[in-house]
Structure formats: C-alpha cells, structure tokens
C-alpha cells in the first residue's frame, strides 16, 4: 500500500466555523464527513497566530523561537529542514499546491554560494516543496506575487494590471464600475468571476491534477487554500448563502475595554480591530466569510469523491487544518495575532485510514495538539524515525490509534509584534516585542516582555472575557506557568546536528580513542585499560 499524505490547510479559518465544531448555522457537511472518517482534535493551537511564522512551524515541525521566522516576510534561514527534507528521503514526492507565505533567505544562499535560480536554490526558496502550483493570496500590484493563478486568469481572458484583484477579488456596481474587495462594504456582493474560476476550485483542480500526475509513486501534497482569508469577497452563489441572522453573537464585554492589558489595548487601537467593532461591518463581512468556507467545503466534497473513486482514500493520511483564526470583532479585535481562542486555536481533523485507527474513528480528541505535531505525524506515517532534536512536536498517530502515550501538559505559542503599530504605540524596543502563550488546558498564561502577564481561566471563563493577570490572587498561578515557560525556553531548540540518543551512545570511549586526560603515569593508563577502558572522565 502506498502511504500518501494529503495535508489540507485553510488560511484564517477559525476553529469554531465548522458544523462539526458546533457552528449553529454554517453547513460544512464534507468537512464534517472528514471528521467522521477520522478524528477531530478539539484543542489544537498554532505556534504563532499569524500566517508566515505559523506555517514555518507547520513546515519545519519547530517552534518559532527555533526556526526564527518571526513574522510574515522574515525569511526562513537556509539550513532549517522542512517537510520535503524529512519526507523526500522516505520516498514521498512532497509538493505544494497553494500558499506557503515562504520568503527565501537570499542572503544566506549567497553566503553559501547557492544560486537561487538553481534546483537546490529553488527548493530552498520554496520551503522544501516541489512547487506544483503556488498562489500566496492577493498581492497588490507593486509587490512580488508568486502566482500561477494570475496566469490562469489571464489565460481565461481576464485582463488589466492585476486580474486577481480586479476580477477575482472585486465586484461590479450597477453601472459596471469595479467595486474593490479590499473594501468591506462590498463583502455582500458577488465576485466578478464565476465560481468555477475563483481561487478555491482552481486550487482543488490543480491538486487533483497533481495526484493524477503522481501516479503510483507515494506523495505528500500540501493543498493550501488561501481562503477564507480576506479580501472577504466570494462568487455567487456563495455571496448570499448566509446573512446577518446566521452570524454568531459577539464575544466581548465592556469590562474588556474598561481596563485592558496594554497589549490588548494597543491591538484594540489598530484599524483592523476598530472596523470590526461596528455591527454593520460584522453583518456584512461574516456572511461572506461563511460563504468562503461553504465553498471550501464543497471543494473538499469534490476532492473526497475523487479520492474515493480512485481508491486513494484507503491509502492516504488526510489532514484538514488552518494556519490561525480570525477575531471577527470578538474581544474588540480584528484579524488574529493575540492568543484568544478565535485567533490561536485551529480546526484539526486527521483521517488515518489504517485499521488501527478505528479505535478513535469519529471521535473528538482532547489532548493538547500543536501545529508542530503534523510533520512528526507524517514522518511516522511514512515509516521514518522520530527525530526529537529537530522535530519538536510529536506524532499524533498513537493518539489516533487509541494508545496510551505520555503527552504534553502545555501548548505553547509565540508572537512578535515588532512589525505592528502596537510597537510604536507602546514605545517598545523591537527586541522586546515578544509574547509567549502557555496553555495547560485550563489556564492560559501570556507572558508579555516589559508588561504584566495576561491570564485566563478557561474552565470558569471559556469565552476568555476576564483577564486575571493583574489580580494578586492569581499571582501564584502566573508564577507556576511562567516557570513552565522558562523551563521550555531553556531547553534545547537549536542543537539539531546531534540527538540526545547519539550523545548517550558516545559513552566513555575517550581513553580507548587515545585521549588520556588526567593520568600520572603509564601504570594508571594500563590499569584503566585492564578495567575496561573507562578513563574516569
Ligand atoms: O500587514 N500585512 O501585510 C499582512 C498582515 C496579515 C496578513 O495575513 S496573513 O494571514 O497572511 O498573515 C497578510 C499581510
């Protein structure tokens, strides 16, 4: 049996915007069917609640502090091993269809004499993937935009300086004028392209073409949808499938605004948060967001029908997840980037087709999962060895197969806000714009360099409306979680060239190798050799 991997990621899909995760109105029957075929991890967190760093953690299996790509556009340094580096030697053709947000480390390549245009240079620039098709989301005209989709649109006859923006991500007014999808007031209008020509079906078609191209050789395909990320605009019929009556109640309180943590206050001050504080904005944007998800769901249905027809679903590990969520106005915030569940918690469904995984089929699993667990899971599925000195997550396969394995007690996530307005409004040095979340399943502690911590008790306050970080009665809880964070931070993150096991195996062979440190005379060396060769060092 081939052991393929289909690694599906959405962009900015909240954990709770799925039928199977309890959304009262949004219908996602095909994604729900995936959860029924496999298992849904209900407490899964990203390693950084923004696209680039989060994805680099998915692709390297390492925390943000370990891989160093701390924000969108910060290159992943040459030398970090990625998915293709781990899975290629196990025989899997590891390909990308969609978004990575990868930015190449051109300076690093030049230092090593690697031509970015060469085969290896290309592979490094593309995060270790073979690029089958790359679309990184809409980029305004002056920015570089790695995109096959734009060529596709041009091929269909959509012209103009940026057809993606002017066709796929715009609507049309009554007089034929272009209404930009950047402007949220246009979110209730259909995009100017037909549904079949929009990003999500295009990406799915390209994924199916890859699978056909791969034939019988094993593969790992990263199918990486750029939706439901903004611009919040979707083609008919998805644009009016949902209305204001289908949006979830706001999760926010006046108390949150009364005396917020300085970071929370700074984020409330960003434009993208203030706009979502207006009810008319939520009422117009969230139905489009839901339409985008419904469209993804239909495409998942199409893809699964293909995998069933070809028999591939019996030999393919399937993952469905997202790179982070979207506040959509909750907690007086827009976008993502802080650690409330709407931002840092993600949907995570894993379908392991092997009979051993019948043990958990259809179940909701509650161990704390991290994004960095996926790559070790893939290595495990492909028959590789665990490499914990490089891959900092753990394989999820034992959990899926009902095995009682020791598991982590906390999920960790990090964020660097130095490229955001919050740095300026808080007058923070760049180096101190660091946040670390430690979540133990009940208490969510957030260390903020230079400020008091934030603390939420998700048992008493599942909506995270009450920040207890300034409450002296909870100082002990903060200290406990801070100690866990410090222990984690002190651990090895960068000794990736030699494993603990290799160090243990080195043993006491220095004398046998001719290194005689601390001996007085030959008689002492002879005695040590007669006793087995232990130098005593
Ligand atoms: O500020 N930006 O340019 C920016 C911010 C967020 C963003 O979304 S993300 O999901 O791709 O991180 C993209 C671009």
- State residue 520's pLDDT score: 98
In the three-class reduction of DSSP (H, G, I as helix; E, B as strand; rest coil), residue 521 is classed as coil
What stretches of 231-365 adopt beta strand conformation (E)? 316-322, 345-346, 348-351, 364-365
Show Cβ contacts of residue 33 under 8 Å, excluding neighbours closer than 6 positions: 301, 304
Residue in the structure block whose two tokens are 């195996």 = 505
Burial 24-63 (b: 16+ CB within 10 A, else e): eebbbebbbbbbebbbbbbbbbbbbbbbbbbbbbbbbbbb
**Beta-bridge mates of residue 180:** 170
- What is the spatial distance between Cα 264 and Cα 139, in angstroms, rounded to a whole number? 28
Taking the centre of ligand 1 as the mean of its atom positions, its distance from the CA of residue 72, in whole angstroms, is 7
Could you read off the pLDDT tens digit of each residue along the chain, which spans 537 residues? 779 999 999 999 999 999 999 999 999 999 999 999 999 999 999 999 999 999 999 999 999 999 999 999 999 999 999 999 999 999 999 999 999 999 999 999 999 999 999 999 999 999 999 999 999 887 776 666 667 898 899 999 998 888 999 999 999 999 999 999 999 999 999 999 999 999 999 999 999 999 999 999 999 999 999 999 999 999 999 999 999 999 999 999 999 999 999 999 999 999 999 999 999 999 999 999 999 999 999 999 999 999 999 999 999 999 999 999 999 999 999 999 999 999 999 999 999 999 999 999 999 999 999 999 999 999 999 999 999 999 999 999 999 999 999 999 999 999 999 999 999 999 999 999 999 999 999 999 999 999 999 999 999 999 999 999 999 999 999 999 999 999 999 999 999 999 999 999 887 888 999 999 999 999 999 999 999 999 999
In a domain, 37, yes or no: yes
Binding site membership of 425 for ligand 1 (Cβ less than 6 Å): no
Of all protein residues, whose CA lies closest to atom 2 belonging to ligand 1? 72
- State residue 11's pLDDT score: 98
Show Cβ contacts of residue 96 under 8 Å, excluding neighbours closer than 6 positions: 126, 127, 129, 130, 131, 132, 133, 134, 222, 224
- State residue 146's pLDDT score: 65
Per-residue pLDDT tens for 73-123? 999 999 999 999 999 999 999 999 999 999 999 999 999 999 999 999 999
Binding site membership of 51 for ligand 1 (Cβ less than 6 Å): yes
Write the secondary structure of 189-214 as one string of H (helix), E (strand) and C (coil).
CECCCCHHHCHHHHHHHHHHHHHHHH
- What domain count does the chain have? 1
367: its two tokens: 């161990």
In the three-class reduction of DSSP (H, G, I as helix; E, B as strand; rest coil), residue 303 is classed as helix
Of all protein residues, whose CA lies closest to atom 7 belonging to ligand 1? 51
Of all protein residues, whose CA lies closest to atom 10 belonging to ligand 1? 51
In a domain, 328, yes or no: yes
- Using most ligand atoms within 8 A of CB, pick from 47, 49, 51 the residue to mutate for ligand 1: 51
Binding site membership of 72 for ligand 1 (Cβ less than 6 Å): yes
In a domain, 518, yes or no: no
In a domain, 57, yes or no: yes
DSSP category for residue 420: S
Taking the centre of ligand 1 as the mean of its atom positions, its distance from the CA of residue 513, in whole angstroms, is 55
Taking the centre of ligand 1 as the mean of its atom positions, its distance from the CA of residue 335, in whole angstroms, is 9
With CA atoms as reference, report the closest residue to 345 among 494, 467, 456.
Answer: 456
- State residue 2's pLDDT score: 79
With CA atoms as reference, report the closest residue to 193 among 162, 177, 213, 169.
Answer: 169
Taking the centre of ligand 1 as the mean of its atom positions, its distance from the CA of residue 512, in whole angstroms, is 57
Taking the centre of ligand 1 as the mean of its atom positions, its distance from the CA of residue 71, in whole angstroms, is 9
In a domain, 499, yes or no: no
- State residue 303's pLDDT score: 98
- State residue 505's pLDDT score: 87
- State residue 1's pLDDT score: 72
Taking the centre of ligand 1 as the mean of its atom positions, its distance from the CA of residue 339, in whole angstroms, is 16
In the three-class reduction of DSSP (H, G, I as helix; E, B as strand; rest coil), residue 421 is classed as helix
Atom from ligand 1 closest to the CA of residue 72: 12
- What is the spatial distance between Cα 62 and Cα 412, in angstroms, rounded to a whole number? 11
- What is the spatial distance between Cα 260 and Cα 466, in angstroms, rounded to a whole number? 10
> In this structure, what are the phi and psi dihedrals at residue 328, rounded to the nearest 5 degrees?
50, 35
Show Cβ contacts of residue 157 under 8 Å, excluding neighbours closer than 6 positions: none
In terms of Cβ atoms closer than 10 Å to its own Cβ (0-12, 13-18, 19+), residue 385 is exposed
Q: How far out from the chain centre does Cα 90 lie?
A: 23
- State residue 507's pLDDT score: 77
Binding site membership of 354 for ligand 1 (Cβ less than 6 Å): no
With CA atoms as reference, report the closest residue to 437 among 476, 410, 404.
Answer: 410
Q: What is the CATH number of the domain that holds 469?
A: 3.40.720.10
Positive or negative torsion for Cα 511, 514, 519, 522: positive
- Using most ligand atoms within 8 A of CB, pick from 12, 47, 50, 53 the residue to mutate for ligand 1: 50
CA distances from 465 to 108, 260, 278, 364, 492 (A): 44, 11, 19, 25, 35
- What is the spatial distance between Cα 371 and Cα 345, in angstroms, rounded to a whole number? 10
For helices 199-214 and 279-309, give the axis angle rounded to 10 degrees: 20
- What is the spatial distance between Cα 442 and Cα 460, in angstroms, rounded to a whole number? 9
Atom from ligand 1 closest to the CA of residue 54: 12
Q: What is the DSSP string of 106-173?
A: HHHHHHTT--TTSHHHHHHHTTT-EEEEEB-----TTS---BSHHHHHHHTT--SS-HIIIIITEEE-
Domain that holds residue 459: 4-401+408-490
Of all protein residues, whose CA lies closest to atom 8 belonging to ligand 1? 51
pTM: 0.97
ipTM above 0.90, yes or no: yes
Contact 174, 186 (CB under 8 A): no
In a domain, 356, yes or no: yes
Contact 282, 288 (CB under 8 A): no
């Amino acid at each position: 049996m081939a052991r393929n991997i289909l690694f599906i990621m959405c962009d900015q899909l909240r954990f709770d915007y799925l039928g199977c995760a309890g959304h009262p109105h949004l219908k996602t029957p095909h994604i729900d069917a995936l959860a029924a075929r496999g298992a849904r991890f209900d407490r899964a967190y990203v390693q950084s609640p923004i696209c680039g760093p989060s994805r680099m953690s998915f692709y390297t299996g390492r925390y943000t502090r370990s891989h160093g790509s701390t924000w969108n556009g910060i290159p992943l340094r040459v030398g970090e091993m990625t998915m293709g580096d781990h899975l290629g030697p196990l025989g899997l053709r590891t390909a990308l269809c969609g978004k990575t947000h990868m930015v190449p480390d051109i300076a690093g390549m030049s230092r090593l004499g690697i031509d970015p245009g060469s085969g290896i240079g290309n592979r490094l620039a593309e995060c270790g993937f073979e690029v089958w098709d790359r679309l990184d989301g809409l980029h305004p005209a002056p920015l570089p935009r790695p995109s096959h989709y734009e060529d596709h649109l041009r091929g269909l006859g959509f012209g103009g300086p940026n057809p993606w923006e002017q066709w796929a991500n715009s609507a049309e007014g009554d007089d034929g004028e272009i209404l930009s999808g950047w402007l949220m007031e246009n979110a209730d209008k259909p995009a100017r392209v037909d549904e079949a020509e929009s990003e999500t079906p295009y990406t799915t078609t390209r994924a199916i073409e890859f699978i056909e191209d791969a034939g019988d050789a094993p593969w790992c395909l990263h199918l990486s949808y750029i939706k439901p990320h903004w611009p919040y605009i979707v083609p008919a019929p998805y644009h009016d499938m949902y209305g204001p009556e289908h949006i979830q109640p706001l999760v926010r309180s006046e108390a949150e605004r009364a005396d917020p943590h300085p970071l929370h206050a700074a984020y409330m001050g960003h434009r993208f948060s203030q706009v979502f504080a207006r009810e008319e904005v939520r009422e117009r944007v969230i139905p489009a967001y839901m339409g985008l998800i419904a469209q993804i769901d239909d495409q998942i249905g199409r893809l699964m029908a293909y995998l069933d027809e070809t028999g591939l679903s019996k030999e393919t590990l399937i993952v469905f997840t997202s790179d982070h969520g979207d506040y959509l106005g909750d907690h007086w915030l827009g976008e993502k980037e802080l650690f409330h569940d709407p931002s840092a918690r993600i949907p995570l469904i894993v379908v392991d087709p092997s009979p051993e995984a019948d043990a958990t089929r259809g179940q909701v699993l509650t161990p704390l999962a991290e994004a960095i667990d996926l790559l070790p899971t893939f290595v495990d599925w492909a028959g590789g060895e665990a490499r914990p000195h490089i891959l900092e997550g753990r394989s999820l396969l034992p959990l899926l197969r009902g095995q009682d394995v020791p598991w982590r007690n906390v999920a960790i996530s990090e964020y660097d806000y130095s490229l955001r307005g919050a740095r300026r409004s808080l007058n923070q040095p760049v180096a101190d714009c660091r946040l670390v979340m430690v979540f133990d399943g009940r208490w969510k502690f957030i260390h903020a360099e230079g400020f008091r911590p934030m603390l939420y008790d998700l048992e008493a306050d599942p909506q995270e409306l009450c920040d207890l970080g300034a409450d002296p009665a909870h100082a002990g809880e903060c200290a406990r979680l801070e100690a866990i964070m410090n222990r984690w931070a002190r651990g090895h993150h960068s000794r990736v060239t030699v494993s603990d096991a290799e160090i243990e195996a080195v043993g006491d062979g220095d004398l046998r190798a001719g290194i005689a440190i601390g001996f007085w005379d030959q008689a002492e060396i002879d005695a040590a050799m007669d006793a087995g060769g232990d130098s005593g060092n």
